[in-house]
A and B are shown apart, each in its own frame.
Chain A
């Protein structure tokens, strides 16, 4: 997010903004105007919560039954008086966010500038008379088994706080600043903020923020300081910030310094043989005034010729490029030689391939990875070429798929296909958690010989009309049968546990609302306890958290608040405790606050035997000079 916070959407619909945009993705992706019921309302949440208390959820009702349930509960919710936020509350949230903008745009930039220039005097001028600070006294060295990375952290939770006056606190801050011989970049982001007396804007204000300083301590040596601060000041006003002496209290909740002898990852796409101009980039097209796209394509890995060097297919709005890997990781464009171009040319009448359903998998079980590319089947001819076998297959992909994943769910020796389908309607309820009532995910059983049978209904594998952007297979209960976790763009996902008889039972990761805005996910045993854990990539928004945090606790009925409180918390790490029980660790481990998160990756980058996390995020960036939510 940019430094400037916006009142915009944020004020009255901070979370709505965030989510709205989540929905926007599939909306824009799939042509938009399929909204079914204008002005519709969701089901009565009161009727929904009890089922969340059960580990095993009932399967989705038939569309007709659900339709009538929706209408009945719409009437019920009106009766219960669950409606709009009162005007006075909306105005309060609006006012608070305006003060956030003042602080973020006028007040905090002064702190950032003083720190950047290492100007102790200017920093001192910001502190009020009688300023008091508290900082964590105990430094816990974070042990990283690496000769190149050093991280140290002090946290309020680790021990008693040390009180400091203005002078001592300035010394403390300047010591962090001194880690950067040259001017670092400095940024303060407002997390929570509100007057200490509700509705009284002239009372003392309190909030939290994240202060980051980052740069190179020596050329090529990255250094970063990040501090979570709680602070107090009088009502934010431009004149006050100009005059100085406004910061009255500051508590350091967490202070971390991280450094490395060199940048640990370096982009070498061009050197390895990738011509990035072949692929869609919103930032380049934006300069020409073109509308941004929400999604452009992915990357799919295989070893199609089984030579031990990994190959990669990049699918993109602008076309498909297949790279063959070789010594040193060099990639050579073999889209033509591999026969992929010819296959695509044979299907030109289809228009651009629906490349959202793309995966390598050995569908014919001959040991050579075949390619499902936008509904076309390409058989791998022993690593020499791909041949079009689409016409041999009875598989007809749905036109609205977002993704595909493979697993041999019935353990018959052939890999099966699981297709993810997004929601179809933007007029549904935010709190209801489902999207559209006519599409669910699809499970196709591989019968061999390129024949597939849609077994979704029989297997109970549809995932309950969630809006789904991906799904991951894992053996979640260690019983030898592949299970699948189906996330949800608009609420809790569902864990489909394989019963071993060709059917799945539906389970909830937690017995209460826990995820929202899940755009991607992955899994792996992060703590090496032998159980596979799940990491969901959700939406995080500082603005959304402020607005929801500033609602009255009873602004909506408890079950509605419980859902709303998940909206902008961000990504979650679910530690698998066994017996289909999980512990939610995203916030505790601070791997939640990525942003608008998409497909993440769990991989052991430092080869220490423990899986690390890489998280992608950011939705649509248009103008660095302009505000954001």
Chain B
């Protein structure tokens, strides 16, 4: 702190250390780990539940996913195709990979993949809006890479109690806009930029190949 202009500064201790309290001093922060000390150690990974857009509530402990390992990245994915987002957590220490099964109570959902024509084939950069149960949700299709880890190239919507989708709009990266009404929930849809009308929507059956 006494040298805000110099990351390389070495600063000697300005007083005595209390050995009983295990106080220690490292002259340059770069040496902390090198000298064998903890550095932001045993911090719990955290889970915050969204309060309908008006803040969050910390449910880290009740989630059971608050590992105090040294976490590096988290990616959500519906591995089971049941609409529940499981969570993959990568850590450099304390368990290198954790795969958390989602045990929240099931609710309605929709998954969407794209098949671009003028847009790139997987629809990266397109924007999907779903209206269901009085809620309008905008999601963009990017395999977001948060830190050396990325999500799947698809979009997931939680639909709460809505068992139908009132309206789904795709704004393709090409600029083309397609709107579909009254679609089923609780499934995985593929939408085709090259087909007009309701025929652009098809339902994926896991295990059957999705035509590219």
Partner of B210, one of A24, A307, A426: A307
In the bound complex, do residue A482 and residue B173 qualify as a contact, i.e. CB atoms below 8 Å apart?
yes
A residues less than 8 Å from B15 (CB atoms): 11, 91, 94-95, 98
Given A9-B25, A308-B188, A615:B140 Cβ within 8 A: no
**Please, what's the 1-or-0 string for A297-310, where 1 marks a CB less than 8 Å from any CB in chain B?**
11111110111111
Given contacts A18-B40, A263-B103, A532-B140, A403 and B98 within 8 Å (CB-CB): no
Q: Tell me which residues across on chain A come within 8 A of B36, comparing CB atoms.
A: 622
Chain A residue numbers with a CB within 8 Å of B175 are 411, 480
Residues of B169-212 at the interface with A, using a CB-CB cut-off of 8 Å, are 171, 173-175, 188, 204-212
Question: Chain B 60-78 against A: per-residue CB contact (8 Å), 1 yes, 0 no?
Answer: 1111110011111111111
Within 8 A of B (CB), among A277-297: 279-283, 286, 291-297
Contacts of A149 in B (CB 8 A): 49, 59, 62
Contact in complex: A472, B59 (CB < 8 Å)? no
Cβ-neighbour of B156 out of A292, A327, A356, A603 (below 8 A): A603
Looking at B52, B79, B92, B144, the one whose CB has the most chain A CB atoms below 10 A away is B92
Interface residues of B in 105-122 (CB under 8 A from A): 105-109, 115-116, 118-122
If over half of B's interface residues share one DSSP class (helix, strand or loop), that class is named, otherwise mixed; here it is loop
Within 8 A of A (CB), among B71-112: 71-81, 83-109
Please report which residues of chain B, range 131-149, place their CB below 8 angstroms from some CB of chain A when the two chains form the complex: 132-133, 135-140, 142-149
Q: Is A244 an interface residue (CB 8 A)?
A: no
Closest to A543 in B: B40
Q: A13-B11, A605-B104 are in contact. Are A413 and B156 (CB under 8 A)?
A: no
Residues of A within 8 A of B119 (CB): 408, 411, 413
Nearest CB to that of A595 among chain B residues? B43
A606 to chain B, nearest CB (A): 5
- Min CB distance, A325 to chain B, in Å? 6
Q: Chain B residues near A619: list those with CB within 8 A.
A: 39-41, 43, 70
Selected from A307, A428, A620, the residue in CB contact (under 8 A) with B207 is: A307
Query: Is B76 a contact partner of A605 (Cβ separation < 8 A)?
Result: yes
In this assembly, does A369 line the interface, its C-beta being within 8 Å of a C-beta of chain B? yes
A624: which B residues are within 8 A, CB to CB? 42
**Shortest beta-carbon distance, A289 to chain B, in Å?**
10
Closest A residue to B92 by beta carbon equals A296
Shortest Cβ distance from B58 into chain A, in angstroms?
Answer: 7
Known: A301-B77, A607-B158, A610-B158. A429 touches B6 (CB 8 A): yes
Are A431 and B99 in touch, CB under 8 angstroms? Answer: no
Q: A420 — nearest CB in chain B belongs to which residue?
A: B145
In the bound complex, residues from chain A placing their C-beta under 8 Å from that of B22 are 4, 6, 626-627
In order of increasing CB-CB distance, the 9 nearest A-B pairs are A20-B29, A367-B212, A616-B71, A599-B147, A263-B64, A607-B158, A599-B73, A282-B93, A527-B53
With contacts A24-B39, A522-B146 known, what are 4 further pairs, Cβ within 8 A? A101-B21, A414-B120, A599-B149, A609-B132
User: Can you identify 26 A-B contacts, CB atoms within 8 angstroms?
Assistant: A2-B38, A21-B30, A144-B49, A223-B62, A263-B62, A268-B101, A299-B90, A300-B149, A307-B210, A308-B188, A310-B78, A356-B148, A361-B153, A382-B212, A429-B4, A537-B146, A564-B1, A589-B48, A599-B74, A605-B49, A607-B108, A607-B158, A607-B159, A608-B158, A609-B159, A618-B41
